[in-house]
A and B are shown apart, each in its own frame.
Chain A
Amino acid sequence: MQLHIATGSELPIYRQIMRQITDAIAGGRLRPGDKLTSQRDLAVQLVISPLTVKKAYDELEREGLIRTERGRGTFVAAGAPAIDRGEQLERLREMARRLLSRAHLSGVSLPDLLELIEEAEAELAAEREASRENPQPDDD
């Protein structure tokens, strides 16, 4: 899959990479067993430090979304992430708190925020649907 990054963003580059890969897995564009571009190749492709790519991959691996096999490469992990449910809920709670204070700072009310979440969910579902109808070939 094709990744792209933006400099001048307040989102660190490693997080941009993590987000795109996570979204691709959630949206079904990347499936379990799919091979990811190697860290070195991705660094050259995106013209960013190999350390940044390593950080993104390490984090994704820690979250159980990808796994690296020595000498073979990095793949999308099979099945559910290796993190236990309690910890996952704790993480989600943390993210929810951030989201809420962010919304509060931006003057967005809770009902508006919930509506936003539902819209995002619909978008993701549509993406999943689309990729099920015409599976994308490997483009890396």
Chain B
Amino acid sequence: MPIAEFNNIHRAYERGKNVLDGVSFSIEPGQVVGLVGRNGAGKTTLLRIAMGMLEAQQGSVDLFGLDPRDRPIEVKQRLGYVSEDQILSPVMRVEAIIDLHRSLFPTWDEAVAERLIDRFEIPRRAKIKNLSKGQARQVALLCAISHRPELLLLDEPAGGLDPAARREFLETSIRLLNETGSTILFSSHYMTDVERLADRIVMIHDGSVLIDTQLDELRENYSLALVPHETVSSREDLLGLTNCLGVRDRADAFHAIFQLEPEKASSLLEGVLGVRDTRCTRIALEEMFIELAGGQG
């Protein structure tokens, strides 16, 4: 049974302008899913809907087989959540924040919390406002995982951290996966972090799921074709091909992304459009993101 299921989620902030326009996917136990998309694509909205902080206007979320609207407390006690703009009270001391979380979560594991405090070298008596941004995020992470959540929701967890703090955050996540095999849904703009942590990516674009695939599949079964302008009459010729996910009209050529290995994309272009010897290559996640989500310019 999936740990989480998003069914046809719709959400608009302005009437008639859906940020999420029918998003559906589910997460199996043990999966680490990287949620990617441009700013404003609705990643945060989706994670907040999962957390019960926002409601979907249409569609439903199912967590652990439960509807969070019916069983909000039970569901939250089985979740962990960290976000970039999460605010821990600046005047509270680290130990008081930990005490608070311990009292909220029946499954709190003191050994996990202790180990993390030691590893992070966080001073217990310090007030949040006197910690660095990276340390404050570590406190948030500690509070989010010490009750051993069945699902961890991370919204841009390394956002705003310097490269060293980001790497440390990543290492902690890897250790966590080693120790508990957690299920994680995390959003990130750092494609290198996504590559290191995720085994599957879900890309949201124009309100719905554009790509949902294993990360390795993405690199093995997708390709970028550079089609010279003079060989086809318009981008629509390319967009009309099956397995073509997007086309950008660039100065050098049409950049077309195919859900095919390079060799197959090349034969498709030759077979259907009669375009021969197109340069087709495998493509890394970051370029894929830019090709699919980037503007036409």
Contacts and interface: CB of A to CB of B under 8 A. Distances in A.
Interface of A: 7-15, 40, 43-44, 47-52, 55, 98, 101-102, 105
B174 A10 contact: no
Which secondary structure dominates where chain B touches chain A? helix
Contacts of A98: 263
Most central of B279, B280, B284 by chain A CB within 10 Å: B284
Given A98-B263, A105-B262, A105-B277, A8 B286 contact: yes
A105 B178 contact: no
Contact of A50 (B178, B192, B262, B277): B178
A49 B281 contact: no
A9 B280 CA distance: 16
Interface stretch (B64-72, B123-131, B196-204, B229-237): B196-204
Contact of A10 (B175, B178, B181, B284): B284
Contacts of B199: 49, 51-52
A26 to B, nearest CB: 22
Interface stretch (B15-23, B96-104, B138-146, B213-221): B213-221
B4 interface: no
Given A12-B215, A48-B196, A49-B32, 8 more contacts: A13-B196, A14-B216, A43-B174, A48-B174, A49-B177, A55-B216, A102-B262, A105-B279
29 contacts: A7-B191, A8-B191, A8-B285, A8-B286, A10-B219, A10-B284, A12-B215, A12-B216, A12-B219, A12-B220, A43-B177, A44-B178, A47-B174, A47-B196, A48-B196, A49-B32, A49-B177, A49-B196, A50-B174, A50-B178, A51-B177, A51-B199, A55-B216, A98-B263, A101-B263, A105-B262, A105-B263, A105-B266, A105-B280
Contacts, number: 70
A44 B171 CA distance: 7
A10 B177 contact: no
B152 interface: no
Contacts of A105: 262-263, 266, 277, 279-280
B167 A47 contact: yes
Contacts of B30: 51
B195 A7 contact: yes
Contacts of A44: 171, 174-175, 178
Nearest to B282: A10
B283 interface: yes
